Amino acid sequence: MCLGIPGQVVEIMDEAAHIAKVDVGGVRRNVNIGLLAGTSDAVDLGDWVLIHVGFALSKIDEEEAASTIKFLEGLGEAYEDELEQLKGSDIA
């Protein structure tokens, strides 16, 4: 199962390459934020984004992030599997 998971931007790693360090459930990974660059949803430090396969697909507010995380945690194994896959992946 592939899920879109909320994560919070903790560092902009490379503005030119659109790479940000995002915290997802305590796992920090580099994520491509290029899909949101130059839009009204451009990403900054502290913002929450919905992540899928290493890309930030949309910016979400903190309330939506919290409710989505709560829902995903309720899925149990599927969410845990997704976090494990995230731990083993990273983009340069």
Q: What pLDDT, on the 0 to 100 scale, is given for residue 73?
A: 81
Tokens of 48: 């929450």
One DSSP character per residue, 62-82 reads HHHHHHHHHHHHHTTHHHHHH
Contact 14, 32 (CB under 8 A): no
Q: What pLDDT, on the 0 to 100 scale, is given for residue 90?
A: 58
Q: What pLDDT, on the 0 to 100 scale, is given for residue 91?
A: 53
C-alpha triplet 66, 79, 3: angle, nearest 5°: 80
**How far is residue 44's CA from residue 21's CA, in Å, rounded to a whole number?**
11
Tokens of 8: 């919070």
pTM of the complete model:
0.80
Q: What pLDDT, on the 0 to 100 scale, is given for residue 69?
A: 84
Q: What pLDDT, on the 0 to 100 scale, is given for residue 1?
A: 46
Contact 29, 40 (CB under 8 A): no
CATH number of this structure's domain 5-87: 2.30.30.140
Domain ranges of the chain: 5-87
| Tens digits of pLDDT across the chain (92 residues) | 456 789 999 999 999 999 999 998 888 999 999 999 988 888 999 999 999 888 999 999 999 999 988 888 887 787 777 777 766 665 54
